[in-house]
Amino acid sequence: MNERRQIIPGDIYRHFKNKLYQIISVAYHSETGEKYVVYQALYGDFRTYVRPYDMFVSEVDRNKYPETKQQYRFERVILGGKDKNEERGETKANICSEENIQPVPSGQLPEAAPDDSSDAEGQVNPYLLMFFDKEGSREQIEYLNSIRSKIDDRLVNDIAVSLDLTVDDGRLDDRIDSLINCLRTKARFECERFR
């Protein structure tokens, strides 16, 4: 198999229908040994899917979808304009900064600017990616405070759903405070002495 088509958990892929997904794991069927890719949508209700590995890495059927510009069914989105396989030695903070989130050069996905409040399905808010790149609740709280003026209701909802939290409707400032309070409670129970 081509090394560039190796599926690595944590990588983000764009489906040829222009939706983004994050790889959760590569799994094996317990009876047949068949290899599968487990991946999660980065839009809507963040559903988790499973697909045979060979199908995931396959090329788009040009007879069925002649209008598509993408070569493969799923193509990796590269953070910071660099291949993550080449960046394994660098910290994620260096790769995933506000200025460096870019699609793969050959892709058709529009570049997501940090202040882009677009609700277009298939695009993930770069602030959401950077939020989950933080180590623990305390860093997540600091990050939310640092971008507070750029947070919108959609980002609050996306973070809450991802963390399995409920943040009541209301004024945006109150919703942000509620999210931060939930993270503070979580931080109190994160036991750093066992790490």
Using a cut of 0.75, tell me whether the model's pTM lies above it.
no
| 134 confidence band (pLDDT: 50, 70, 90) | confident
Which of 82, 79, 26 minimizes the C-alpha distance to 54? 26
User: What are the residue boundaries of the structural domains of the chain, listed by start?
Assistant: 1-110, 134-195
Please check the confidence at residue 171 and state whether its pLDDT lies above 60. Answer: yes
* Residue 122: per-residue pLDDT: 52
Average pLDDT of the segment spanning 34-48: 89
Q: Give the per-residue pLDDT at 88.
A: 42
pLDDT at 123: 64
Q: E strands of the chain, at which residues? A: 12-15, 20-28, 35-41, 48-52, 74-77
Q: Let me know: does 148 contact 154? Beta carbons within 8 Å.
A: no
Query: Which one has a higher pLDDT value, 82 or 154?
Result: 154
The architecture CATH gives domain 1-110: Roll (2.30)
How far from 86 is each of 67, 83, 94, 97, 103, CA to CA, in Å? 32, 5, 13, 17, 16
Q: Does the pLDDT value for residue 52 go beyond 50? A: yes
Average pLDDT, the chain: 75
User: What digits encode the pLDDT tens for the residues 100-109?
Assistant: 333 333 333 3
